[in-house]
Amino acid sequence: MCGIVGYVGPSSALDVLLGGLKRLEYRGYDSAGISVVTNGEIQTQKRAGKLQVLIDQLSASPMADAQMGIGHTRWATHGAPTDGNAHPHNAGAEQISLIHNGIIENFSELKKKLVSEGIEFESETDSEVAAHLLASEFANTGDFEKSFVSVANALQGAFTILAINKSDPGLVMAARRNSPLVLGVGDGENFLGSDVAAFVDYTKTAISVGQDQIVKLRADGFELIDFNGNPVEHEEFKVHWDASAASKGGWESFMAKEISEEPQAVGDTLMGRLDANGDVNLSEFDGLSIENLENINRIIITACGTAAYAGEVAKYAIEQLARISVSVELAHELRYRNPVIDEKTLVVAISQSGETMDTLMAIRHASERGAKVLSICNTQGATLARESDATIYTHAGPEVAVASTKAFSAQITAGYLLALFLAHATGKTENLNQLGKELLSLPRKVKTTLEMTGDVAEFANQLKDIQSVLFLGRNVGFPIAMEGALKLKELSYIHAEGFAAGELKHGPIALIEPGQVVIVLVPAPSSAESLHAKVLANIQEINARGAKVIAIAEQGDDEVAEFAEKVFYTPKTDPLLSPVLSVVPLHIFSMELAKAKGLDVDQPRNLAKSVTVE
């Protein structure tokens, strides 16, 4: 949610800011704007709509060249997506300009005070309150840095704010509380961004700005202080991908590119963690000793959206292999129901960005109650990783499309690694090496799955006018059914629901009518307790009512073809590992159906890539 860029240095600020905002488009936004200081004045341009609308305006009304500035893409919270509500917000007779990501919870009382002092507001946003408050403080003190610190302490909620002052054209001030901010360290120039994509074209050296920290950014250096003005230590990290990794590279969409990268995402997540014998090695557990794990009697996996479905798959794997009780909790519900969490609880938090606010608040709640926290995260230097006792990084690379694909596959893979590790740690070692070896074969099998889905686009085009799709799955297929439904909702804006196949007769069968499309994830014939036969019975019940069945089944399962209108096959693997394969045709189907409807698969309406507010 929202993209933020700040820059000070010798390059064209306009180029740096617009380039950074372009690379942050994946976060989701509905307006964009920039401010620069040039010739002792602040110049600002902002427009509702896509970034191209702002670029077109800048072409028609060029801004003077500058060497510092701030840029913003806004995802509307307070106030509709309009030119007036777009950022930056200027105040103090154009003395200062400010951008903001997050929600200021005490904006109403602050605004009332400012209005009583004669301040007039031009937008409906909470962000403009911070701008006027800063201008008011600066008018009283004449000290921009001191005023900025004061404002940071006055605000409540989740925020990252960047501000510039025309009286000091070499300084960008920034503050972070419960909202992401990364500092890019260059040679004679420095950068700020919501994430490293904002400046990866210019530098691979970055610093994650910590909670309640303030940055004073200049071309020749920077200073980090806390909200009390005290210096704070920082640690640099290297970004291990370049800007080309976040470009389409010839693909028609980022989503198509990222689906094609699922084999690599799975392989890179396994790399160095499984040897040829199938033995797992997770050095990431340095923060969690074996003694810690031996005391664990319960695991809670917490996440939101797609990541929660990856957690559901991990639950099946951990309970089957390590025999530890696991529950999966939506992060935004976990801390509000006063859950039973103590020092014998391991909380596993899953987030692609590592900045999902609901998930961060959940792990903080768990840590306060003595639980150990392990995170599964795709982003170096993310808040989630820094606040966890240990982190398994998924090496999926940058994921730009809002709807997650390769990151989801990598999260499931990390969940399997965790299950194997916990099974070894608790002495449940039977058949683990065999499963580990099969896990090593998954990247090749995901690639084969992609090669077997060539006619999905044609089939999706035939169904472009459908308004509802139901998904059924059992065992590890159930969370994949829910993931398939979510992807279709996100991308095609139609009704879609995922059900446990065994629930069909307990209510959902009432939705089955002639022409209804039902996608069924069929367990392998080798799956436990005759699940294959049970799901085939479900399919026959659906067919008897005139619905249209599309099946996802294991290669060689010829029996399914007798009952389904269309079958998409995946290579044989251990049934526990099948989600990494069966989800691939669902990702492709969702993308192709949205394309057939003429929709934007990379930036679906109303959605943001990283939800950084509660």
**Active-site positions?**
2, 609
DSSP secondary structure of 97-145: EEEEEEEETTHHHHHHHHHHTT----SS-SHHHHHHHHHHHHHHHS-HH
What CA–CA distances, in Å, run from 584 to 143, 258, 260, 564, 581?
Answer: 56, 11, 10, 19, 6
Beta bridge partners of 100: 161
CB 404 within 8 A of CB 306: yes
CB 546 within 8 A of CB 514: yes
**Tokens 């210019």 sit on residue:** 202
What CA–CA distances, in Å, run from 83 to 133, 380, 438, 557, 599?
Answer: 21, 34, 54, 57, 24
Which tokens in the block code for residue 154?
């006055």
Tell me the torsion sign for CA atoms 461, 466, 472, 478.
Answer: positive
Q: What residues contact residue 470 under an 8 Å CB cut-off, 6+ apart?
A: 485, 496, 497, 498, 499, 508, 511, 512, 516, 517, 518, 519
Q: Tell me which H or E stretch contains 36.
A: strand 31-38
Beta strands in 324-481 (DSSP E): 326-330, 345-351, 372-377, 390-393, 468-473
**Tokens 């002092």 sit on residue:** 117
CB 403 within 8 A of CB 256: no
